[in-house]
Amino acid sequence: MTQESKLKMWTPQEVQARRETEPNLLLLDVRTEGEWNQHHIPGATLLPMQVITARLNELDPQRETIVLCEHGVRSQRVAQFLVEQAGFENVGNMLGGMSAWEGPVEGG
């Protein structure tokens, strides 16, 4: 299995269903604090993209993690970093990001 194939792509609908069935799932929001304050998924964890490398020790490489941002571009870069350079194995990216999310939100 190549490292690229380890990265899963999830639709927002799949993420919503997954969070209902997997209580240990980490939704890692890599947007800015300002974006987070406007709206975010309840129970998600904010860790802005700019601080991921400095705060990598706060993440569990064994825990299932789905990375998200506003449109899915930054989150894909972070997810690829986690898989390719940080050795994480159970990482996904939420396609379309918060702009495609139709589930519950907090903030704003």
Write out the catalytic residue numbers.
Answer: 69
Structure tokens at 103: 């589930």
Signed CA dihedral, 93, 99, 102, 108: sign only: positive
Identify whether the C-beta of residue 31 lies closer than 8 Å to the C-beta of residue 70.
Answer: yes
Q: What strand order describes the sheet that includes 91-94?
A: 8-10, 91-94, 65-68, 26-29, 45-46
